[in-house]
Amino acid sequence: MRRLLILLALAASLCAPAQQPAIPIQSHQVNADGSITFRYMAPGATKVLVNSDAFLTPQTMTKGADGLWTFTTDPMPPQYYSYSFTEDGITKVDPFNPITVQNSDALPAIYYLGSKVLVPATPPSPWDPTDVPHGNVDHHFYTTHVVKGLVHDQSGYVVYTPPGYDAKHKGGYPVLYLLHGWSDVETGWTNDGHANFILDSLIAAGKAVPMIVVMPLGYGDEDFARHPISIWGNKALVDANLAGFTQAFETEVMPAVEHEYNIAKGRENHAIAGLSMGGLEALTIGLNHSDQFAWVAGMSSAIVGTPLSARLPGLATPEAAKKADLRLLWVACGVSDGLIKSNREFVAWAKGVGLPVTAVETPGRHTFVVWRDNLVHLAPLLFQPK
Mark whether 80 and 186 lie in a shared domain: no
pLDDT at 22: 53
Closest CA to 224 of 192, 248, 204, 201: 248
- Contact, 300 vs 378, CB < 8 A? no
pLDDT at 221: 95
**Torsion sign across C-alpha atoms 99, 102, 103, 109:** positive
Mark whether 200 and 298 lie in a shared domain: yes
Domain assignment present for residue 95? The answer is yes
Counting Cβ atoms within 10 Å, is residue 229 exposed (0-12), middle (13-18) or buried (19+)?
A: exposed
Q: How far is Cα 288 from Cα 247, in angstroms, rounded to an integer?
A: 13
Which CATH number characterizes residue 63's domain?
2.60.40.10
Mark whether 32 and 153 lie in a shared domain: no
Mark whether 179 and 98 lie in a shared domain: no
Mark whether 239 and 265 lie in a shared domain: yes
Alpha helices in the chain (DSSP H): 2-14, 188-191, 195-204, 235-248, 254-260, 277-288, 308-311, 318-324, 340-352, 368-378
Give the end of a domain, one of 92, 119, 146.
119
Closest CA to 97 of 160, 29, 149: 29
Is 190 strand, coil or helix? helix
Mark whether 110 and 146 lie in a shared domain: no
Domain assignment present for residue 386? The answer is no
Mark whether 115 and 140 lie in a shared domain: no
Domain assignment present for residue 89? The answer is yes
- Contact, 283 vs 169, CB < 8 A? no
Which residue segment(s) compose the domain that 20 sits in? 2-119
**Which one-letter amino acid corresponds to residue 191?**
N
Domain assignment present for residue 261? The answer is yes
Tally of domains within the chain? 2
Domain assignment present for residue 37? The answer is yes
Domain assignment present for residue 151? The answer is yes
What does the buried/exposed string (b/e) look like for 36-75 if buried means 16 or more CB atoms within 10 Å of the residue's CB?
Answer: bebbbbbeebeebbbbbbbbeebbebebeeeebbebebee
pLDDT at 305: 81
> Helix 277-288 and helix 235-248: axis angle, to 10°?
60
Give the pairing type, strands 136-143 and 154-161. Answer: antiparallel
Strands of the sheet containing 295-299, edge to edge, are: 136-143, 154-161, 212-216, 175-179, 270-275, 295-299, 328-334, 357-362
Is 48 strand, coil or helix? strand
Domain assignment present for residue 131? The answer is no
**Which one-letter amino acid corresponds to residue 111?**
Y
Which residues, including other chains, have CB under 8 Å from residue 129's CB and lie 6 or more apart? Answer: 197
Give the end of a domain, one of 88, 119, 150.
119
Domain assignment present for residue 317? The answer is yes
pLDDT at 237: 95
pLDDT at 278: 97
Q: How far is Cα 186 from Cα 105, in angstroms, rounded to an integer?
A: 18
- Contact, 178 vs 214, CB < 8 A? yes
Q: How far is Cα 83 from Cα 115, in angstroms, rounded to an integer?
A: 5
**Torsion sign across C-alpha atoms 18, 113, 334, 311:** positive
pLDDT at 112: 52
pLDDT at 225: 87
Ranges of the chain whose pLDDT falls below 70: 1-23, 102-113
Mark whether 145 and 224 lie in a shared domain: yes
Which CATH number characterizes residue 260's domain?
3.40.50.1820
Mark whether 110 and 199 lie in a shared domain: no
CA 65 to chain centre: 40
pLDDT at 167: 96
Mark whether 111 and 217 lie in a shared domain: no
pLDDT at 228: 83
Mark whether 90 and 239 lie in a shared domain: no
Q: How far is Cα 367 from Cα 337, in angstroms, rounded to an integer?
A: 9
- The 3-class secondary structure across 265-304, one letter per residue, is CCHHHEEEEEECHHHHHHHHHHHHCCCCCCEEEEECCCCC
Mark whether 201 and 306 lie in a shared domain: yes
Q: How far is Cα 303 from Cα 342, in angstroms, rounded to an integer?
A: 6
Which residues, including other chains, have CB under 8 Å from residue 184's CB and lie 6 or more apart? Answer: 102, 103, 112, 192, 218
